[in-house]
Structure formats: C-alpha cells, structure tokens
Amino acid sequence: MKINDVGGNGGTKPPEVQPSRTGKTGRPAASERAERDRVEVSDGARRLASLAEAVAKLPEVRPQLVEALRKSIAEGSYRVDSRELARAILEFEDGPLA
C-alpha cells in the first residue's frame, strides 16, 4: 500500500518560515512584551480595593449588638415592626420600592 501526501500540503515544497521577533515559544520576546503590556488602575478601583480590605478586617459578628438583642428578647421587650420587616424583605427580593 502506498501512502501519498504525508505532509498534508499536496506534495509541494514545505512552507517558508518567516523570520519574526518571537522567541522559541512563539511569543514576543520579553523586552517587546514589556513595551506593550501596561495596566492602569482607576482611582475608583483603588478606592474600592481599599474599602474591600477595610470590610474584610471587620468582625463578622458584632458582640455588643448580639448581647443587646439577647437581653431584649429575654426581657420580652424585643418587638418586630411587621411593616418594616415586609418592606425589607420586598426590597431584598425586588430592589428598592417606589
């Protein structure tokens, strides 16, 4: 059995390799990438990052608030405003109410 066209280019001469500024990996050389690659961070993004960092440092539980709520529940003085609770639930689900 004879196999023709092993190279996949119809038996013609191999394609010519064009010289480029890429290294062995096929990517531009580091000096060329350094000239082109640049990242700019806006003031808003910097502010957001600093706020996120500040929030991350806050404790998840506020012990003073928890203790105050426990005390008012134990004393029977804790009251829930059902209208405010309903409004908060609706806003959480659907966004701000008009």
Q: Which residues of the chain, if any, have pLDDT below 50? A: none
What pLDDT, in 10s, does the model give residues 57-69?
988 888 999 999 9
Domain positions in the chain: 30-94
pLDDT at 36: 74
pLDDT at 86: 95
Q: How many CA atoms lie within 13 A of 26 on its CB side?
A: 1
pTM for the structure as a whole: 0.34
pLDDT at 31: 66
